């Protein structure tokens, strides 16, 4: 191991943790908020494990002060959260609900007082139900709806929020929400999928344009990336890995940063692949200030004709997996960051999510012992450092998640938090990983070498 003064992270590197509105806030209809598509999804029997909902979640809507207290105790220098569109615009467009805005005003003011840099995501999967009724991501008008909402937020919060993300993981919205039906709105249509992806990208571009007119700081987007490794060197498996990579990684980054879709997509979607207006590509490729990378695992893929629609099947690897059955593979984080740098050039990067769902034990004397998460955190942060040594401009790291929370269709069964939440009492208890993270933050990364 190399131990020298250079092993600390650059000055100003952001040490954060992340959450999202529907997963932690609870009180989805409080103070005049409108319902979201996730509110509905959870109320459709059979779609969420145990019939659970985000009605209470971590009660962060009421406990935000206490939660900022935890952030301070952890020593975080940044906090990534998302805004619930339907709290602010109950019908998605038009009337603004000031009380909903006030919640976020209070939150970012208090973060500012605590010296914690707020990083706000405009869309982390909860779409106003009223817009779902108008076709949601299928409707091209959504780019205008999103731009309108973005303008409201920039005007209200840009004084405090200096780092904005338009969308969180558009691939998951399109693949999970429109192809496989496992996330809201729960559709299963290969014809809708590329339209959803495309309109997500157009909405992103429209919000960036609004930001250039309204905002003074930085705006980017958050994507989830995963190295796709071929199971063997056979031409079929190599081609399957390339398709999987085009579908998940390049489907979004190529149009955002290069201005066109990867050519593999036409083959993957077949007759569902539409002809997109040429002007859309300019509207999508707007200059952005950073890319946020969410990283959880890699996938090893083999040619599998029945795997719809990419014909790439996952080959489960030996070795440790999290409760999500995701392989723990820290090298993949360095690999994917280096890949972004090589393919797309010098765009500043943040790791905007990274973490592990584990079967944590009950707290003992005020702490949850989670040695696997401690190792996960350390190994992934070392991987970030390797990528930086390799020349990639990484400016911050956000652990997923600050709190155990509502893990979408998995309900409350998956615990990702640095801080445990007892859902019956809402009691927060730090985990050993939270204590370890504090040491890393206080030493600006030097503790990774201990
Ligand atoms: C990501 C999501 C986040 C959380 C983690 C585990 O895909 O952005 O909300 O669910 O996975």
Q: What is the pLDDT of residues 38-73, one digit of tens each?
A: 999 999 999 999 999 999 999 999 999 999 999 999
- 211: domain CATH number is 3.20.20.80
Structure confidence at residue 7 (pLDDT): 86
Rounded to the nearest angstrom, the distance between the alpha carbon of 398 and the centre of ligand 1 is: 12
Of the CA atoms within 13 Å of residue 147, those in its CB half-sphere come to: 21
Selecting among 25, 52, 169, 192, the annotated active-site residue is 169
| pLDDT (tens digit per residue) in 187-245 | 999 999 999 999 999 999 999 999 999 999 999 999 999 999 999 999 999 999 999 99
pLDDT in tens, 246-272: 999 999 999 999 999 999 999 999 999
Give the model confidence (pLDDT) of 363-414 as tens digits.
Answer: 999 999 999 999 999 999 999 999 999 999 999 999 999 999 999 999 999 9
Mean pLDDT (the chain) is: 97
Task: Please write the tens of the pLDDT for every residue from 311-363.
Answer: 999 999 999 999 999 999 999 999 999 999 999 998 999 999 999 999 999 99
Is there an atom of ligand 1 within 6 Å of 224 CB? yes
Whether the predicted model's global pTM rises above the 0.95 cut: yes
How many separate domains does the chain show? 1
Q: What are the strands, taking DSSP E only, across 175-266?
A: 218-224, 228-230
Mean pLDDT of 127-135: 99
Expressed as residue numbers, the domain containing 16 is 3-449
CA of 278 from ligand 1 middle (Å) equals: 32
Distance 64 CA to ligand 1 centre (A): 20
Which is the closest atom of ligand 1 to the Cα of 357?
6
Orientation of helix 60-74 relative to helix 98-113, angle to 10°:
10
Quickly list DSSP for 24-63: H---TTGGGPPPBHHHHHHTSTTSSGGG--SSSTT-HHHH
Q: What is the atom index within ligand 1 of the atom nearest the CA of 172?
A: 7
Tell me, in angstroms, the distance from the centre of ligand 1 to residue 403's CA. Answer: 13
Q: Is 353 a catalytic residue?
A: yes
Catalytic residue among 52, 327, 353, 407, which?
Answer: 353
Residue 21 to residue 220: CA distance in whole angstroms: 19
Return d(Cα 430, Cα 234) in angstroms, integer.
Answer: 47
The reply to whether ligand 1 has any atom less than 6 angstroms from the CB of 409 is: no
Task: Return the sign of the alpha-carbon dihedral for residues 82, 42, 179, 403.
Answer: positive
Look up residue 148 and give its two tokens: 């309108």
């Amino acid at each position: 191991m190399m131990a020298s003064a250079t092993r600390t992270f650059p000055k100003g590197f952001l040490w954060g943790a992340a959450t999202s509105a529907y997963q932690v806030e609870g009180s989805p209809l409080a103070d005049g908020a409108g319902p979201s598509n996730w509110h509905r999804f959870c109320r459709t029997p059979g779609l969420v494990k145990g019939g659970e909902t985000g009605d209470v979640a971590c009660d962060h809507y009421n406990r935000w002060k206490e939660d900022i207290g935890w952030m301070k105790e952890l020593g975080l220098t940044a906090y990534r959260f998302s805004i619930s569109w339907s709290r602010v615009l109950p019908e998605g467009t038009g009337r603004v609900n000031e009380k909903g805005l006030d919640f976020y005003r209070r939150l970012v003011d208090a973060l500012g007082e605590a010296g914690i840099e707020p990083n706000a995501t405009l869309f982390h999967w909860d779409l106003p139900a009223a817009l779902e009724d108008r076709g949601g991501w299928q409707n091209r008008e959504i780019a205008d709806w999103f731009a309108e909402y973005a303008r409201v937020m920039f005007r209200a919060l840009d004084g405090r929020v200096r780092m904005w993300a338009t969308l969180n993981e558009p691939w998951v919205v399109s693949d999970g929400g429109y192809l496989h039906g496992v996330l809201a709105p729960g559709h299963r249509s290969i014809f809708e999928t590329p339209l959803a992806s495309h309109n997500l990208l157009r909405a992103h571009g429209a919000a960036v344009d609004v930001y250039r007119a309204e905002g003074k700081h930085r705006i980017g987007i958050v994507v989830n990336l995963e190295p796709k490794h071929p199971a063997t060197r056979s031409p079929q498996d190599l081609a399957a890995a390339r398709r999987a990579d085009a579908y998940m990684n390049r489907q979004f980054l190529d149009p955002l940063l290069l201005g066109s879709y990867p050519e593999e997509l036409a083959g993957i979607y077949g007759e569902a692949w539409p002809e997109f207006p040429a002007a859309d590509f300019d509207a999508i490729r707007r200059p952005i200030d950073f890319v946020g990378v969410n990283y959880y695992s890699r996938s090893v893929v083999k040619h599998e004709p029945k795997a719809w629609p990419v014909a790439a099947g996952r080959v489960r690897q030996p070795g440790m997996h999290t409760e999500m059955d995701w392989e723990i593979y820290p090298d993949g984080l360095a690999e994917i960051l280096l890949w972004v740098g090589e393919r797309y050039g010098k765009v500043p990067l943040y790791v905007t999510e990274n973490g592990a769902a584990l079967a944590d034990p009950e707290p003992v004397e005020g702490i949850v012992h989670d040695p696997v998460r401690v190792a996960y955190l350390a190994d992934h942060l070392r991987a970030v450092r390797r990528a930086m040594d390799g020349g990639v401009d990484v400016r911050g790291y956000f652990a997923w998640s600050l709190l155990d929370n509502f893990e979408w269709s998995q309900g409350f069964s998956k615990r990702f938090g640095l801080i445990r939440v007892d859902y019956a009492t809402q009691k927060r208890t730090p985990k050993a990983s939270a204590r370890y993270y504090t040491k890393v933050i206080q030493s600006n990364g030097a503790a990774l070498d201990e």
